[in-house]
Amino acid sequence: MTTTVREAPPRAREAELLADDTARARLLRAAADLFCRHGINATGVDAVVAAAGTAKTTLYKAFGSKEGLIEAVLETEGAAWRDWFLTEVDKCADGPRGKLIGIFDVLEVWFKKEHFFGCPFINAVGEFDKDDERYKRIALAHKSVIMKRLTELTAEAGAEMPEALAHQIGLLIDGAIVAAMVSGDAGVARFARSATAKLLT
């Protein structure tokens, strides 16, 4: 059975941000769009302030630096995505097993969105020096929230090794996100869904 997922963008706080017309909110919206669409390193602060309709001094006053802006974007986007994703997963029927399988129905909705450009955290870590821990820390904090919920669900589903199973499903989630970004095929979520169903048998 396919889960019915709310047809809304994974930026669960998008309406809230759109209603907030402060310079800081406009900078966050502009930077999130440009970073995801074109890449962080390819997007300069001039492009961000032009898209936001603010002055460069406003950006530095609000975030301190481009690095501060990047961190704020990742934290804001991560919180919004987690809010959407975990809410939708928890609405899936058929108990913990149904929720775990339904993860990939939720992801397929995201993959079909026009503004799907992959995972901001995977993209950010991939763009920078692998010894740079700043964005890794933010990415791992985001991942830990998701893994905590996955582990709860695998335990509720009766897994003998719930943490190990959660990590296996986490790898399928990450793989599906990257595959969908590279291929442009939202249907890859269904292969990950099938693999998860087999893990749960």
Q: What is the pLDDT along the chain (201 residues), one digit of tens a residue?
A: 444 444 544 544 444 444 456 899 999 999 999 999 999 999 999 999 999 999 999 999 999 999 999 999 999 999 999 999 999 999 987 799 999 999 999 999 999 998 899 999 998 988 887 777 888 899 999 999 999 999 999 999 999 999 999 999 999 999 999 999 999 999 999 999 999 999 998
Rounded to whole angstroms, the Cα distance separating 59 from 34 reads 15
Long-range contacts at 142-147 (CB < 8 A, ≥ 24 apart): 142/74, 142/78, 142/82, 143/170, 145/82, 145/86, 146/82, 146/85, 146/86, 146/170, 146/173
Q: What residues contact residue 29 under an 8 Å CB cut-off, 6+ apart?
A: 17, 18, 52
Give the model's pLDDT for residue 132. 74
Instruction: Output the pTM of the full model.
Output: 0.85
Rounded to whole angstroms, the Cα distance separating 179 from 12 reads 23
How far is residue 143 CA from its own chain's centroid?
9
On whether the CB atoms of residues 36 and 51 are closer than 8 A, the answer is: no
